[in-house]
Structure 1
Amino acid sequence: MGLLKEFREFAVKGNVIDLAVGVIIGGAFGKIVSSFVNDVVMPPLGLLIGGMDFKSLAITLKDASTNEAGEAVAAVTLNYGMFIQNVVDFTIIAFVIFLAIKGINNFNRKKEEAAAPPPPPPGPTPSEKLLEEIRDLLKK
C-alpha cells in the first residue's frame, strides 16, 4: 500500500504535470514547425536548387517485382531525401527552441536585476578609519 501512496504523491507533484503539459505542447509545436518547413521553407529552397523535391530523393536498391504467386513486391529504396527533410526540420526546431530559451533567460535576468536590492555602500578605507581615530582623539 505504501508504494501506491508514494506513486500517487509522485504523479500529482507539479513537476510531472508540467512535464506532461510540455510533451503535449511540444507535439503540437512539432506539427506547426513541420508544416512551416514543408509548406513554407522547402518549396522556395527546392526552387532555388532546380525544382527538386527532397522527399522524392531515393536510391533504388532492388526494383519492384512480382513473386511466384503473382503478388507485387514493392521496391526497396534508400530514402535519403526524407533524411535531409528531417535534418532541416530538426535544425529549424532546435533554432526556434534556442531563441525561445534565450528570450526566457533574458527576461528572467532582467526580472532578477530589477528585484535585486542595490549593493550597500562600501565601508571606509583604512586611511579613512585612521583619520576618524585621529579626529576622535583630537576631540578628547
Structure 2
Amino acid sequence: MGMLKEFKDFALRGNVVDMAVGVVIGAAFGKIVSSLVSHVIMPPLGYLLGGIDFSNLFIPLSDTPVSTLAEAKELGVPVIAYGEFLNAVIDFLIIAFVLFIAIKQINHFFPKAPPKEIRKCPYCKEAIADDATRCPHCTAQL
C-alpha cells in the first residue's frame, strides 16, 4: 500500500507531469519537422542537385539486383540506407535550429535575475553566510 502511494506522489509531482507533456509535444513537433523536411525541403533540394531523391539513396549489401529501397525492403535485401540517414540528420539540424531560436526568444522575454552578490569576509576575503557574525575561515568578528 505504501509503495503505491509513493508511486502516485512521484507520478503526479508537477515536474514529472510537465516533463510528460513536453515529451508528447516534442514527439508531435518532431513529426511536423520530419514532414517539413521530407515533403517541403528535400524535394526542391533534390531537384537542385539533379533530381536526387535522398530517401531512396542506398547501398545494397547483396548480389540481388534492386533499383529502389522499397524493392530492397520487399525482397529482404540488406542495404545501407544512407539517404534516410541524411534525412534524419537534416531533421535533427532543423529541430535544433528551431529550438535554439525558440529558447533564445523565451530568454529574451524572461531575462535572468542578476546573480546575488556573495558576502565576503573583509579580512580573509572568503565567502561567508549573509547572517554570519563571525568568519568560519579566519574566525574574525564581523
TM, length-normalised to structure 2: 0.68
Task: Select the residue among 63, 67, 88 that pairs with 1:86.
Answer: 88
| SS of aligned partner of 2:79 | strand
Aligned residues: 106
1:30 offset after TM fit, Å? Answer: 0.8
Contact kept, 8 Å, 1:64 with 1:74, in 2: the verdict is no
Shift of 1:42: 0.5
CA distance in 1, matches of 2:9, 2:55: 47
Could you give the per-residue CA deviations for residues 66-96 of structure 1, whole angstroms, max 9, x where no partner exists?
Answer: xxxxxx9532211111111100011101111
SS of 1:62 mapped into structure 2: coil
Identity %: 58
User: Hey, what's the Cα distance between the residues in 2 that align with 1:60 and 1:7?
Assistant: 49
Backbone CA RMSD of aligned residues = 2.0
User: CA separation in 1, counterparts of 2:40 and 2:78?
Assistant: 30
Contact 1:64–1:76 under 8 Å retained in 2: no
Contact 1:63–1:74 (CA<8 Å) still a contact in 2? no
Which structure has greater strand proportion?
A: 1
Point out where structure 2 has 5 or more consecutive residues left out of the alignment. Answer: 66-73, 115-142
Structure 2 distance, partners of 1:2, 1:74, is: 51
Residue segments in structure 1 that go unaligned for 5+ positions in a row: 66-71, 114-140
State the 1:40 CA deviation: 1.1
Q: More helix by proportion, 1 or 2?
A: 1
CA 73–42 in structure 1, closer or farther in 2 if over 3 Å, else same? closer
Residue 63 of structure 1, CA deviation: 3.1
Partner of 2:16: 16
| CA distance in structure 2 between the aligned counterparts of 1:18 and 1:35, rounded to whole angstroms | 26
Higher-Rg structure is 1
